Chain A
Amino acid sequence: MDISDLKGAAAGDMRYIGKRVARTEDSKLLKGQGSYVDDVHLPNMLQAAVLRSPHAHAKIVSIDCTAARALNGVHAVYTHADLSGRARGRAPSMLPNPAIRFERTQELLASTEVTFAGEAVAFVVADTRYIAEDACGLIEVEYDTLPAVADCRDGLLPDSPLCHTDAKDNIVAHIEMGFGDIDAAFTDAPHVVEETYWQNRGSAHPMETRGYIAEYHPTNGELTVWSSGQAPHHEKKNLVELLEWDAEKLRVLMNDVGGGFGPKLPFYPEEGLVAIAAVALKRPVKWIEDRREHFLSVTQERDQWWTVRMALDTDGKIRGVKLEMVHDNGAFLPWGIITPYISITTTPGPYVIPAMGAKLDVVYTNKCATSPVRGAGRPQAVFAMERILDKAARALGMDRAELRWRNLIQPEQMPYDAGFIYRDGSPLRYDSGDYPACQKAALERANYTGFAERKAKARSEGRFVGIGMASFVEGTGMGPFEGATVRVQANGRVVVITGASPQGQGHKTTFAQICAEQLNVPLETIDVITGDTGGISMGVGTFASRVTVNAGNSVYIAAQAVRDKMFTLAAHLWKCATDDLVLIDGHVARRSGVEQRFSYAQLAKISQGMPGFTMPAGLTAGLEETKYFSPAQSTYCNGTAVVELEVDRETGHISILNYVMAHDSGKLINPMIVDGQVIGSVAHGIGNATLEWMQYDENAQPTTTNFGEYLLPMATDVPNVDVVHLETPSPLNPLGVKGAGEGGTIPAAAAIIAAIEDALSEYGVEFTEAPLVPQRVFEKLKAAGAYAR
């Protein structure tokens, strides 16, 4: 069994780019020799635990730590009163936006008011984690509970309780945006369809939870922080601010990280707390989150309520779309209002939509904060758009694929202005892509035209099968920049250093491929260093499917600059022209029949100069270049999912029979790795569509706080995914790449739930929610009389 039947792999004579190169990361991870944050054992290290609020909303009346501090093995107990300086304030504000009416980020430890169940109240440092947890149990906190905002829609009502008692209401932001003449689009429209959708996305749940270690070096005043995160330079920036630390004496390291998918990106209080404790106690301090804490305190996406109205002409052409959406923000803004903003701006998808009008309310609730989870608000947007298209197809009596086909943006319309302003501040301009080809490829691979026959046959056997489809366009590879240093060492080995740290995406292999291609050296001679703020001065981080575009192109440009430097140096030494030179297996050689060669090692040594001698004119020190690639705008990836599945009418259980994912993320550097990203993100989407539901009760108490209550997809829940690659190179970067890490997730819920609805079409049930869990399928069928005798 192949992972996928690769279509459209890059042609040409490239040695590494476009090849299914085995990962350089794997060997040590397969032997249990990874270095995840909890694997780092430092001498004299202490362990920490966090006491969290059990209430969704309460005033803190008093905290008594006497017994906890007295426990043998406890070294320190911190409450807000024990913090000082900037650390007494709130976490730095990320991504400010003028639309935010009331900006609120989290305190390291709550001072007077807790606003979600799970908010950190006290931090205990002890000899072992066991003792630290014992001590948490000895801390007595007196709370005065307050009414909580549990439902974001209720939070908008005038008599709603307040999420934050010092705010005047619960509105984070109210945004209205649109384009075209939306009123004209609906006036006299032959068809108008309308529906309300509820969607809940949980958290990302990487298998490794969060964790941090801080070590203070009193001899030189340096502070080293290890983190299981997604953006070392971002973490450093926050720590420098909160600790009021000298940026030159703070280093953040991310060694191996066990998955991220978004929520490991924002700043969390524990990062600051381990550092504060390590400095105060002059001993290394480690805090490792447990899964229950991850459920309580790590960002999610959660509820969005959408009302969608679509106006269409008789021929199925979309005239306009009106959207109203309410986003359950949670109690804090760790990552601005990016998620709901992306949701709104993703709705046009691959379709020509002459006019849109959108109203967005982002609402504070007494729950854990939200921030992007793989897909970042886009799965909800695609669900809203694709489900209303299914409804429109029924209203018009038109085939679902045909309706979509008639509205697709054509390749000759590229670049295409979709109408909105995207999150990067520039117009939402699709740079490239062949959306009709993508839909066609997916439908053909799924044998869509033969489905009616398959459905009829299944029905004659008493089985209910259905097919669904959904397409998306995703802004990827956004700026501001990422950087890479490429250096030829004196031993001839090549080092690539970048600030974009991986969480499993295979960056080290991908960057080595890009570099090896430019320098014409074996992959084995390249070492890639990631996740170290000491390695490169600036970095942005791994999120938003941006790394291959930003860091990949930085590696490409830096490696070419190093190659040019080697040519300049060799040409100087041989007194020849640079165009007489060629790279052959780690050597610079002459083209013109002259038998002269310099190994990269020789050139690297020469380039380092001799003490006291002047560098030759035109040459700069070292075979080393650092380049920062800044894309002009996002580059847009696209795809179409077609899902065929069977529904057990009696239980609502589904079995996926065929899952086709046609995907265009531009040029593929390593198709094996891209397949892994696409298939993995499809599995994430299947979880979102059918299983994952982060639930809170009417008091905003979380009720799904372990993997028994919140279900992740198991091996028996996901099928083999049939990936079809299209490769439309991006014109916006030298490598022609686009992001690939989220596309599989984005259309999954829309396509799967459409297929469930189609399987049960004879009962006329419509499904307007995601996740769609079996009991809800059963309830709808029962209400429709499916079980009546």
Chain B
Amino acid sequence: METRTVRVVVNGTAYEREVEPRRMLGDFLRHDLDLTGTHYGCEHGVCGACTVLIDGRTARACLTLAAQMDGHTLTTVEGLAGADGTLNALQKAFAECHALQCGFCTPGMLMTLTELLNETDSPTEAEIREAITGNLCRCTGYQPIVAAALLAAQRIREQRAAAPAAQATE
């Protein structure tokens, strides 16, 4: 069997694996690295449940080949909480706003919104809705997800305002 070598950093941990050229990134994460938080909902790039960050940008793990990831840095849902398991601001807001029910689309939602909140600290409701059009949710009707993103953005702004010196030294 022909294989390719993939050297990749996922959530801060370096991995090296031999993969079949046709192996999809989602299968690689889920089955080879046992990072099962990234979900497959459609396997044709529409539902967004498999969204991960590749070098900080969102991508579909169901449409990306694992072999393409050689030399790249990935973040998955498992990389969002603190090392001690503490939920980050976005995750906390999701719980407070009841922004998840079955939880299956949630990892992809979180990754898309992570990218948005990295890009803008004051997204409007319309911008949030637009940002998550590539993530389907069948449970929540999106309303609490939007509420959670607004709440998280507000908290992140407040944190930054409260600790400007610390941020400047980073």
Residues of A within 8 A of B (CB): 1-3, 22-23, 25-27, 29-34, 36, 38-39, 41, 129-130, 204-209, 256-259, 261, 288, 290-292, 503-506, 672-673, 675-676, 679-684, 706-708, 712, 714-716, 718, 720-721
Contact = CB atoms under 8 A, between A and B. Distances in A.
For A259, A288, A675, A682, the residue with the greatest tally of chain B CB atoms inside 10 Å of its CB is A259
A724 to B, nearest CB: 15
* Ranked 8 nearest A-B pairs via Cβ: A32-B37, A504-B102, A258-B104, A29-B103, A683-B141, A504-B101, A32-B77, A707-B46
Nearest to A705: B44
14 contacts: A3-B98, A3-B143, A26-B95, A30-B81, A32-B35, A32-B78, A261-B138, A504-B103, A505-B101, A672-B98, A707-B47, A707-B136, A718-B143, A721-B141
Contact of A31 (B80, B96, B105, B135): B80
A684 B145 CA distance: 16
A290 B140 CA distance: 22
Mostly, the A contact residues are loop
B31 A208 contact: no
B142 A718 contact: yes
A207 B101 contact: no
Nearest to A29: B103
A288 B43 CA distance: 12
B28 interface: no
Nearest to B150: A1
Interface in B95-150: 95-98, 100-107, 110, 125, 128-130, 132-133, 135-147, 150
B79 to A, nearest CB: 9
A744 to B, nearest CB: 8
B138 A207 contact: yes
Nearest to A719: B143
Nearest to B126: A716
Contact of B136 (A209, A676, A712): A712
Contacts of B53: none
Contact of A504 (B139, B141, B147, B150): B139
Contact of A207 (B20, B43, B78, B137): B137
Contacts of A680: 101, 138-141
A25 B103 CA distance: 9
For B41, B107, B110, the residue with the greatest tally of chain A CB atoms inside 10 Å of its CB is B41
B76 to A, nearest CB: 7
A257 B102 contact: yes
Query: Interface range on chain B: under 10, 10 to 19, 20 to 34, or 35 or more?
Result: 35 or more
B138 A205 contact: yes
A204 B95 CA distance: 25
Nearest to A35: B36
Contacts of A39: 30, 36
A31 B77 contact: yes
A27 B102 contact: no
Contact of A259 (B102, B107, B150): B102
Interface of B: 20, 22-23, 27, 30-31, 34-44, 46-47, 49, 76-78, 80-81, 85, 87, 91, 94-98, 100-107, 110, 125, 128-130, 132-133, 135-147, 150
Given A22-B96, A258-B104, A673-B98, A33 B141 contact: no
Given A32-B78, A676-B101, A718 B95 contact: no
A715 B100 contact: no
Given A679-B141, A679-B143, A290 B43 contact: yes
Given A23-B95, A208-B104, A721-B141, 15 more contacts: A3-B143, A25-B103, A29-B100, A31-B77, A34-B36, A130-B23, A259-B101, A680-B141, A683-B138, A683-B141, A683-B142, A707-B47, A707-B136, A714-B136, A715-B129
A721 B110 CA distance: 22
A506 B135 CA distance: 22
Contacts, number: 188
Nearest to B80: A31
A31 B81 contact: yes
B145 A715 contact: yes
Given A22-B95, A130-B20, A258 B141 contact: no
Given A207-B136, A715-B146, A258 B103 contact: yes
B122 to A, nearest CB: 15
Contacts of B129: 715-716
Contacts of B102: 206-208, 256-259, 503-504
Nearest to B142: A715
Nearest to A1: B147
Given A26-B95, A290-B43, A715-B133, A31 B37 contact: yes
Contacts of A30: 77, 80-81, 87, 91, 94-95, 100, 103, 106, 110
A32 B36 contact: yes
For B22, B41, B137, B139, the residue with the greatest tally of chain A CB atoms inside 10 Å of its CB is B139
Contacts of B76: 32
A32 B98 contact: no
A324 to B, nearest CB: 33
A703 to B, nearest CB: 16
Contacts of B39: 36, 38, 207-208, 258
Contacts of B94: 26, 30
Nearest to B147: A1
Contacts of A38: 30, 36, 39-40
A709 to B, nearest CB: 10
Nearest to B94: A30
Contact of B22 (A29, A130, A675): A130
Contacts of B138: 204-207, 259, 261, 680, 683-684, 712
Contacts of A712: 136, 138
Contact of A679 (B34, B128, B140): B140
Contacts of A292: 44
A676 B144 CA distance: 8
Contacts of B125: 1
A504 B100 CA distance: 8
A720 B144 CA distance: 9
Nearest to B97: A3
B130 A716 contact: yes
Contacts of B133: 714-716
B56 to A, nearest CB: 18
B67 to A, nearest CB: 14
Nearest to A30: B91
B105 A207 contact: yes
Contact of A291 (B30, B44, B97, B130): B44
A589 to B, nearest CB: 34
Nearest to B134: A714
